[in-house]
Structure 1
Amino acid sequence: MECSVCKKPTAKRCSRCHTTYYCGTSCQKKDYPNHVRDCPSRTADILVKNVFADTIPTNEAVRYEYGFCNCIGPLEESNLLGLYIGLIKYIEISASELHSWWNSGNLSSHIKKVCEEKGYNKSEYYKWFLENEHVLQGLRKYEGKKTDKRSIIEKFSEKVIPYLSEHDQKVPFESLPESKRNVFALYATVLNGNIPGIEQIIWTEFGFCCCKYADEFLGQIEEIRLRDVYRELIIQKGCKVDEFHDAYLSGSIMDLLKKECSSDNFNWLLENKIEIKGYQKMKKSVYNLKQYALSDAVDLPRPVNVDYGFMNCSTEDERRQLKNIYRKLIKNPRFDPQDLHEACIAGKIFDYVRSILPNEALKANLFKNPYPLKDI
């Protein structure tokens, strides 16, 4: 072949497009203004630029091909960028190497191998990656508008398939029993790196309702920690849907978590009073109250109506005021749902609310309930 500038014979070519030949760097630099318009930048090259600029990629192809689209929120994207920074700046992996790893479909395994070999395995970003390896699974070439035409539900649910039995993989989701649909929803949420929405049944069924909620940010931190406990069980321990479902039906999820999860994670569950009762097992209405008070999309549950005084409201305005009081109560750092539950069954809700919110204008009659129950 010949140099595209001086026409001298050469075997050297552009390392990016591999189609244009140059005899050396001098001719390559001369041709740069022309060639740059025709030479397509590999996503790995753009990612390297992002790494040295310490910026989260905004290029859609880079985000899609290198896992940023699989991250949930800026914190996960920052951790993934940190992983690439370690690879590129400190281990000195080139864009060409990174591209070849991606092109082989084995990006994750190459990253693990090189990090272990180069002693980067103690990095916090690498530890995060080992717990979140799913962000680099199923990576495909970005093809603009043609990319990934699957529905959001299909993409959200596909990660659960390996955890389903052969039978359940072949049947429509709607044909599964309600209890298994709940487990499926939990798996899909956890495997996609999410936490349940407050309106979802899995928020109350699987203990997220027990997390502290002094404000939205603290609530999310606590719920993320609980999500990560489930991630350990599902991803690291390989717990299948049927095994989890059996524990859900028998009310023994806590036993399963104790058996499979680290002592640090299980002790955190105990210390933070996380309750996971099981399917159709009696649950404290205080958690339904939390769900109702914190969301504007949840209807007033009957137990909450009776237990927490909403039946005493004579107007819709009074009901809104009472709901707002409970919302402020739940977001107060001193609030403890167990204490409110005990005040409820003792018939002393007003005293408890007043102790936490002394400056609120409270109507004692609105907090009355049928408790304590008389002995029969």
Structure 2
Amino acid sequence: MLAPHKFIAFARPPDPVDQHQTSTFRRSRHNPEPLNSSSLMVHYCKACGKPATKLCSACTSKTWYCSSECQRSDWTFHIFDCNPRRPIDSSDYLALAVAQDRFPDDPQTKEDYGFNRALSAENQIVLLELFKGLILHRKVSSRRIHAWRVNGTLADGIKGTFEILPVHARGAYYGWFLQNQWVLDRSLSRPAHPLDAMIKRAWAYSGGSPALSTRPYIMSSIGAWPHTKRSIFLFCGAILSHGRPNPMEENWVTLGFCACHNEESELPLAAIYSEITERCTFEELYTAYDTSSLIALFDAKGLKTLHQQIPYLEDVLAGSPRHNKSVWNLKQVITAKDCRPDVPPLSIDYGFVNCRSPLDTELLKEVYREFFGLPDANPIKLHETAMRGQIFEYVGGLVKIKKKERKTLQRLMRNPYPLNDS
């Protein structure tokens, strides 16, 4: 990253406004007249918010900082408001995307740094994480990344940065990169179809013959398997390709990704599954999944400490793949774009059966979405209160509900519980 522009030094004579403020202050010490508050101006650091006395000397945006350190830390953002000594290029937009933890919006950046070539949202997420590792953790500047790209050595630069680390410290994102270098190295050809590679990896893991590894043959072979075995087979293909289930998929619930608070917190669970494929056979993994004993398998393979760091994972996997609480289907409905909420028991348990219009459905989904977005959201408590018929009382105590929507939500959140035991 280009070094930030120089500050106006502390010793520089104040501008006319500062001179006026200084003389006003001096007069006030000997004059009982009140100060004119409009003439006193306090500036605040753009980076940390503390009072600031240094003005960026290279731009007209009147940007203030309290220290050189704050200016340097804010340069990734400030360069777009400043007057840099060089043209802004796609590496600056890449650094901005990394700092904001989002995909780049700039079309040239997406083209230069592989986001247009990554074939799925999952691959784009991993690619962004790879660049986050470079810029945030390995402290590689955007200028160096820019130089690598211009010189045609971007892939080599990434490998040189990560391969000086011990193997265990390189991370899953680097493993994905080694298998998908074509995304950044245009001299390498794009795979014919990404699903082919995923299925072949799962086929090899399940013990299939390499000589009979065409996609049509594999799909024909697994067509006779039980549903749960086909499901875990396709999941293994995704995990072995450094992916994970989409919220639209059944596996997102049955394999516990619904227990994670957000997309980022799904990554440790994906790492657990990646590790378990190294420590057990496909048949062991399938059997554990089919008999609701994945937690026992994790424990037996030395992964207990890791899985215990994921709240509610044990609750989900204890019932998978056949008997999950409906609250996990509720979370899937509000996370995935096109998941339908009108399927029992979800629709009955959480009030969607009471909806009279699409507006009712969207209102109910939005309130549940706000609930699951809370940092301390407790899905198990939500399920328990639903079984007691007290959803509105519980959710209404945690989520701010507009006065005009209270009666509607009270009606929508009714359910037939608690059931009469007699």
* TM-score bracket relative to the smaller structure: 0.5 to 0.7
- Does 2:285 align with 1:239? no
- Offset at residue 132 of structure 1 (A): 5.3
Inter-partner Cα distance in structure 2 for 1:375 and 1:70: 51
Q: Secondary structure at the match of 2:170?
A: helix
TM-aligned CA distance change 1:314 to 1:210, over 3 Å: same
TM-aligned CA distance change 1:76 to 1:138, over 3 Å: closer
Inter-partner Cα distance in structure 2 for 1:159 and 1:84: 34
- 1:367 maps to what in 2? 413
Q: What letter is aligned with 1:254?
A: I
- Offset at residue 280 of structure 1 (A): 4.4
- Offset at residue 316 of structure 1 (A): 2.8
- 1:152 maps to what in 2? 194
1:256 corresponds, among 297, 312, 327, to 297
Inter-partner Cα distance in structure 1 for 2:395 and 2:272: 32
- Offset at residue 203 of structure 1 (A): 0.5
TM-aligned CA distance change 1:208 to 1:133, over 3 Å: same
Q: Secondary structure at the match of 1:264?
A: helix
1:20-59 deviation line (CA, Å, top 9, x unaligned): xxxxxxxxxxxxxxxxxxxxxxxxxxxxxx9xxx999947
2:243 corresponds, among 191, 194, 198, to 194
Unmatched runs of 5 consecutive residues or more in structure 2:
1-90, 99-108, 145-152
- 1:172 maps to what in 2? 219
Inter-partner Cα distance in structure 2 for 1:204 and 1:131: 24
- Does 2:252 align with 1:203? yes
TM-score, normalisation: structure 2? 0.57
Contact between 1:340 and 1:352, CA under 8 Å: does it hold in 2? yes
TM-aligned CA distance change 1:354 to 1:145, over 3 Å: same
- Offset at residue 206 of structure 1 (A): 0.3
TM-aligned CA distance change 1:247 to 1:80, over 3 Å: farther
Superposition pairs for residues 285-364 of structure 1, below 5 Å?
285-300=326-341, 301-360=343-402, 361-363=405-407, 364=410
Inter-partner Cα distance in structure 2 for 1:371 and 1:323: 20
Contact between 1:83 and 1:129, CA under 8 Å: does it hold in 2? no
Inter-partner Cα distance in structure 2 for 1:345 and 1:241: 37
Contact between 2:389 and 2:415, CA under 8 Å: does it hold in 1? yes
Inter-partner Cα distance in structure 2 for 1:141 and 1:206: 29
TM-score, normalisation: structure 1? 0.63
1:227 corresponds, among 255, 265, 270, to 270
Inter-partner Cα distance in structure 1 for 2:292 and 2:339: 25
Inter-partner Cα distance in structure 2 for 1:132 and 1:149: 19
Aligned CA-pair RMSD: 4.1
Contact between 1:185 and 1:202, CA under 8 Å: does it hold in 2? no
- Offset at residue 269 of structure 1 (A): 3.6
Provide the aligned length of Structure 1 versus Structure 2.
Answer: 287
TM-aligned CA distance change 1:198 to 1:132, over 3 Å: same
Inter-partner Cα distance in structure 1 for 2:400 and 2:260: 24
TM-aligned CA distance change 1:70 to 1:290, over 3 Å: closer
- Offset at residue 191 of structure 1 (A): 2.0
Report the structure, 1 or 2, having the larger helix content.
Answer: 1
1:150-197 deviation line (CA, Å, top 9, x unaligned): 112113333323211237965426613321221122212222222321
TM-aligned CA distance change 1:272 to 1:278, over 3 Å: closer
Deviating more after overlay: 191-200 vs 241-250: 191-200
Q: Secondary structure at the match of 1:335?
A: coil
Contact between 2:389 and 2:417, CA under 8 Å: does it hold in 1? yes
Q: What letter is aligned with 1:233?
A: I
Inter-partner Cα distance in structure 1 for 2:353 and 2:131: 46
2:204 corresponds, among 162, 168, 187, to 162
TM-aligned CA distance change 1:75 to 1:228, over 3 Å: same
Deviating more after overlay: 297-306 vs 183-192: 183-192
TM-aligned CA distance change 1:229 to 1:141, over 3 Å: closer
TM-aligned CA distance change 1:141 to 1:321, over 3 Å: closer
- 1:282 maps to what in 2? 323
TM-aligned CA distance change 1:144 to 1:127, over 3 Å: closer
TM-aligned CA distance change 1:274 to 1:75, over 3 Å: farther
